[in-house]
Amino acid sequence: MNHTDLSNSVIFPRGEKLPEIFSKNFNGQAYLRMLSASGDEWNCPIGNVTFEPGCRNNWHRHPGGQILLVTGGRGWYQEEGSAAQKLRPGNVIRIPANVKHWHGAAKDSWFVHLSIETNCQAGPAEWLEPVSTAEYAKLK
């Protein structure tokens, strides 16, 4: 088991606890620092997201897709209808538009990824139900 303390994130700043607009869609504590904002001329929101051990987000969909670049720790990514896959630093996950999915930390590890929202003119994420506690508990 890897208990490396990534409470200060990896390379990029950890930022603050998620604002309520996001935290209500997470189980556990995560931190966010936006590296490039929404709604400006770059049109490419980039966030550095740091998950405490056990923290994961609810099932959701992005109408324009999303790219995750894993920079630290161990975590999970799951698409609806597929097995969860383990994530490690260096992994790149390209989430197609409108595919239902979740991502987050392993039970016993901090986890850090960059999140890049693509084609964001398509609209904001659609947030859905939490990941089943029983299903998450089975992951190893």
- Shortest spacing between CB 10 and a copy of itself, in angstroms: 8
42 interacts with a copy of itself by CB under 8 A: yes
Sorted by sequence, the CB contacts under 8 Å of residue 46 that are 6+ apart come out as 34, 35, 36, 114, 115, 116, 117
Nearest-approach distance from CB 20 to a copy of itself, in angstroms: 25
CB 28 within 8 A of CB 57: no
Q: Count residues contacting a copy of itself (CB under 8 A)?
A: 24
- What backbone torsions phi and psi does residue 124 show, to the nearest 5 degrees? -80, 165
Among 89, 62, 59, CA closest to 75: 89
The yes or no reply on residue 16 touching a copy of itself (CB under 8 A) is no
- Site map for a copy of itself, 44-63, x if CB under 8 A? x-x-----------------
Cα(30)–Cα(124) distance, integer angstroms: 19
Pick 30 or 68: Cβ nearer a copy of itself:
68
Distance between CA atoms of residues 127 and 51, nearest Å: 18
| Least distance to a copy of itself, CB of residue 46, Å | 7
If one asks whether residue 87 binds a copy of itself (CB under 8 A), the answer comes out as: no
Residues at the interface with a copy of itself (CB under 8 A):
11-13, 35-36, 41-44, 46, 65, 67, 69, 71, 89-90, 92, 94, 96-97, 114, 116, 118-119
